[in-house]
């Protein structure tokens, strides 16, 4: 098929939105589709430089569009003040650009992939050809009981997020996007619930992210046994230090876990605005000596941390994806998480423990998380089985598998 892929954010060797756009483009081309990627002109130098050294093939082409000089623009890599207005204006202009391109190329399908937001429209459905919207995210939300422990800033931001999400069902512009799409893909059940029920028959759950490369076998954790080696039981968290990442829950859970396993260690890798607040919390819980705070490290150093840990604790409250969860599993590291957002799609009982939050208060969720950690710490055979399960399950989240699975179901 001739596919027009609308990926405002798209660049090689990057994570987040840019990585999503790039990987969907490359994998579609490798599947044999003739792919035209419509992206921002500011991405052109990076894309062309990469393709000189790493050619993908003739199936992958790029068309570049940006707003006129007078519009709000990025300066010194800083976002414009009115970022969402800029996005909408870009989408309108990109549609007009795509219409001219379509008259010349004759696309079979239009597919919007970035931004990955259910709250923001795409106008590619106006081209009059089959249209796919997503995977998109944004409906993930923190349960009210688990917001206890937020900073005041976290409370305010999540409240505003909840209010904005209320408008998705009634916003006529985004509903036009839903109506025009033959297929809608969302990253979680929570995001599906934001979409009006009349569109649920064509709405499917699919992560927007995948894993590009698996770690070499020597870095895979299959033989770690804290009891035999006398090393402390090692729990790892990787990610930003933000209120909605649930680290405040993780610290409390670890404090409880230490009562049974006093020599255990919790390592937190990352950084963010809540770091000072979380360190104070660790002090108040009297667990400072058992907690290590490591700034962001490169991938090879991170690989060592994954492979030397026993459990990956990821209590995030509204993560739409969870790339670090995929990375941990690719190293044979069992995951303990909540049934919220992307991790709820990734993790099952073969590779970790997913804690149900429905109808539970904060204390009950913390108790359940602590029991899950203790179960794995006490049962080494179970832990070994989950390591093998993680390595098995990660195969379905390979980028090529994800893209092929989605497109194999499309009928136009």
Q: For residue 236, give the H/E element and its range.
A: strand 234-240
Residues 182 and 223 in one domain: no
* Residue 112 reports pLDDT greater than 90: yes
Q: For residue 405, give the H/E element and its range.
A: helix 399-408
Residues 188 and 235 in one domain: no
Each residue of 261-285: pLDDT tens digit?
A: 999 999 999 999 999 999 999 999 9
Reduce the DSSP state of residue 73 to 3 states and report it.
coil
CB 6 within 8 Å of CB 122: yes
Residues 152 and 301 in one domain: no
pLDDT tier at 307, thresholds 50, 70, 90:
very high
Residues 103 and 238 in one domain: no
Residues 298 and 196 in one domain: no
Number of CB atoms found within 10 A of residue 103's CB: 10
- What are the Cα distances from residue 14, in Å, to 17, 25, 27, 44? 8, 14, 16, 14
Per the omega criterion (within 30 degrees of 0), is the bond before 115 cis? Answer: yes
Tell me whether residue 35 is exposed, middle or buried, using C-beta atoms within 10 angstroms of its C-beta: 0 to 12, 13 to 18, 19 or more: buried
Residues 203 and 115 in one domain: yes
**What is the per-residue pLDDT for 49?**
96
Reduce the DSSP state of residue 257 to 3 states and report it.
helix
Dihedral Cα 79, 84, 86, 89, nearest 10 deg? 160
**What is the per-residue pLDDT for 381?**
96
Each residue of 115-128: pLDDT tens digit?
A: 999 999 999 999 99
Residues 372 and 229 in one domain: yes
**What is the per-residue pLDDT for 152?**
83
Bridge partners for 112 per DSSP: 6, 133
**What is the per-residue pLDDT for 231?**
78
Mean pLDDT of 104-120: 97
Residues 143 and 161 in one domain: yes
Residues 148 and 178 in one domain: yes
Q: For residue 186, give the H/E element and its range.
A: strand 183-186
Each residue of 217-266: pLDDT tens digit?
A: 655 665 555 555 567 899 999 999 999 999 999 999 999 999 999 999 99
Mean pLDDT of 118-142: 96
Per the omega criterion (within 30 degrees of 0), is the bond before 244 cis? Answer: no
Selection from 226, 294, 286 nearest residue 252 by Cα: 286
Rounded CA gap, 122 and 134, in Å? 10
CB 218 within 8 Å of CB 199: no
Residues 76 and 186 in one domain: yes
How much of the chain exceeds pLDDT 90, in percent? 84
Edge-first strand order for the sheet with 2-7 is 60-65, 34-40, 2-7, 109-114, 131-136, 183-186, 203-205
Residues 269 and 403 in one domain: no
Selection from 119, 210, 187 nearest residue 344 by Cα: 187
pTM of the model: 0.91
Each residue of 314-362: pLDDT tens digit?
A: 999 999 889 999 999 999 999 999 999 999 999 999 999 999 999 999 9
**What is the per-residue pLDDT for 212?**
83
Task: For 319-369, give the DSSP string.
Answer: -S--HHHHHHHHTT--EEEESSTTHHHH--TTTEEEE--TT--HHHHHHHH
Q: Range of 101's domain?
A: 2-211+398-408
Rounded CA gap, 111 and 103, in Å? 17
Residues 126 and 239 in one domain: no
* Residue 74 reports pLDDT greater than 60: no
Each residue of 20-70: pLDDT tens digit?
A: 999 999 999 999 999 999 999 999 999 999 999 999 889 999 999 998 766
Which CATH number does the domain housing residue 59 bear?
A: 3.40.50.2000
**What is the per-residue pLDDT for 81?**
61
pLDDT tier at 13, thresholds 50, 70, 90:
confident
Number of domains into which the chain is organized? 2
Rounded CA gap, 204 and 21, in Å? 19
């Amino acid at each position: 098929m001739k596919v027009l892929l609308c990926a405002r954010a798209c660049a090689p060797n990057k994570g987040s939105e840019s990585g999503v756009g790039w990987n969907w483009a490359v994998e579609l081309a490798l599947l044999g589709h003739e792919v035209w990627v419509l992206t921002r002109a500011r991405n052109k130098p990076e894309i062309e430089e990469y393709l000189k050294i790493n050619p993908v093939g003739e199936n992958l082409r790029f068309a570049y569009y940006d707003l006129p000089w007078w519009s709000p623009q990025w300066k010194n890599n800083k976002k414009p003040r009115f970022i969402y207005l800029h996005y909408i204006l870009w989408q309108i202009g990109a549609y007009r650009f795509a219409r001219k391109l379509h008259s010349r190329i004759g696309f079979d399908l239009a597919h919007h992939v970035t931004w990955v937001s259910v709250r923001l429209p795409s106008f590619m459905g106006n081209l009059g050809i089959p249209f796919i919207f997503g995977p998109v995210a944004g409906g993930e939300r923190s349960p009210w009981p688990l917001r206890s422990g937020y900073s005041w800033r976290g409370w305010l931001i999540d409240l505003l997020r909840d209010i904005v999400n209320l408008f998705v069902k009634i916003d006529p512009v985004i509903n036009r996007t839903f109506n025009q799409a033959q297929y809608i893909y969302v990253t979680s059940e929570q995001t599906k619930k934001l979409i009006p029920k009349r569109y649920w028959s064509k709405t499917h759950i699919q992560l927007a992210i995948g894993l590009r490369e698996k770690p070499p076998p020597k870095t895979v954790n299959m033989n770690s046994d804290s009891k035999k080696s006398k090393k402390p039981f090692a729990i790892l968290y990787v990610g930003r230090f933000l209120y909605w990442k649930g680290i405040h829950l993780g610290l409390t859970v670890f404090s409880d876990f230490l009562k049974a396993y006093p020599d255990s260690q919790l390592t937190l890798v990352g950084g963010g605005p809540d770091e000072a607040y979380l360190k104070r919390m660790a002090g108040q819980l009297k667990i400072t000596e058992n907690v290590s705070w490591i700034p962001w490290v490169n991938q090879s150093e991170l690989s060592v941390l994954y492979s030397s840990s026993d459990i990956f604790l990821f209590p995030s409250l509204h993560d739409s994806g969870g790339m670090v969860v995929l990375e941990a599993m690719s190293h044979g590291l069992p995951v303990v998480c909540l049934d919220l957002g992307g991790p709820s799609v990734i993790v099952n009982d073969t590779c970790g423990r997913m804690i149900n939050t429905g109808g539970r208060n904060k204390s009950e969720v913390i108790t359940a998380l602590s029991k899950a950690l203790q179960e794995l710490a006490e049962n080494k055979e179970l832990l070994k089985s989950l390591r093998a399960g993680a390595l098995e399950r990660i195969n379905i989240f390979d980028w090529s598998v994800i893209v092929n699975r989605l497109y194999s179901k499309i009928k136009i």
